[in-house]
Amino acid sequence: MAAIRINRRKASATFYNVLAILILILFALPAIWIVFTAFRPGNEVNVTPPIWIPKRLTLDAFGSLFGLNPGIAAGIPVFDYMRNSIIVALTATVFSVALGTMAGYAFSRFPFRAHTFVFLMIMLSRAVPGVALGLPLFLLMRNYGLIDTVHGLALVYVAINIPFTSWLMDGFFRQIPKELDEAAYIDGCGHWSAFWRIDLPLALPGMSAAAIFAFLAAWNEYQIASLVTKTPASKTFPVGLFDFTSQFTVDWRGMTAMSVLMIIPAIIFVILTQRRLTEGLTFGALKG
């Protein structure tokens, strides 16, 4: 009977593992198709029926992207888009995580009048659809001369990401016992010293998780960026993808080649912070 139970458990585990792999492959199919299209020859792109696996691999799309081959992509300023995306995403991540961490600490440690109301208003601001923010943001940025600027776009992403990072860090700081702060106060620490020496090191996993979400939100955002960026001086990767469309044709290979370039930094960023992300997502469960 024991052997039968063990076999059933192994069979059940194998079934769920296979099911999980199939689901992951299903969700990854669009990304796999993008990668295949970026490396496939041009005569395989729009054929019917579609060719799923390229018969041969070629770097022509990337060569055209960097101006080595003729084509629609040859005149697209890829390096400008890459520079703008990196500056905007990193700036938005650093400031939104820093400000969100301090806001989360304040909400979790220092109750004040209308504490809950203010916190809910900050959270509700994140619930407003991006399409509803487009026109007010455009008018506000135009009045302050921030249209078509990298720092203006980064400022918008900071404002958008702060509610989420504040909420996330508030939850992490609430998991840290207040007795640690009280012990620090007894030892002569002030509020800032206790935050810097006690709470912040314990909340680093949460900051890492918030940084990943903030970075990806800024890196992949298109709607607002398409409204407030006009030239290569401020356009980011998502907006730059539209340059591959002309009046009658779309350069699908060039578009997918740039998409692959977009995916690489995001993958590197997640890999570098994967350990902290796992710790951050499981921290609350472990405390419980």
Mean confidence (pLDDT) of the chain = 83
For residues 92 and 51, membership in a common domain is answered with: no
The owner of tokens 């005569």 is 43
For 247, list phi and psi in degrees, rounded to 5.
Answer: -65, -35
pLDDT band with cut points at 50, 70 and 90 for residue 278: low
The owner of tokens 């909400």 is 107
For residues 141 and 188, membership in a common domain is answered with: yes
Segments forming the whole domain that contains residue 208: 77-287
Residue 63 covered by a domain: no
Residue 69 covered by a domain: no
Q: Does residue 265 have a cis bond before it (omega within 30 degrees)?
A: no
Residues with Cβ within 8 Å of 43's Cβ and at least 6 positions away in sequence, in order, are: none
Q: Cα–Cα distance between 103 and 231 in angstroms, integer?
A: 35
Q: Cα–Cα distance between 244 and 259 in angstroms, integer?
A: 11
What is the pTM (predicted TM-score) of this model? 0.81
- In the chain, how many domains are there? 2
Q: Is residue 288's pLDDT more than 70?
A: no
Q: What are the pLDDT digits (tens) for 88-115?
A: 999 999 999 999 999 999 888 888 888 7
Residue 210 covered by a domain: yes
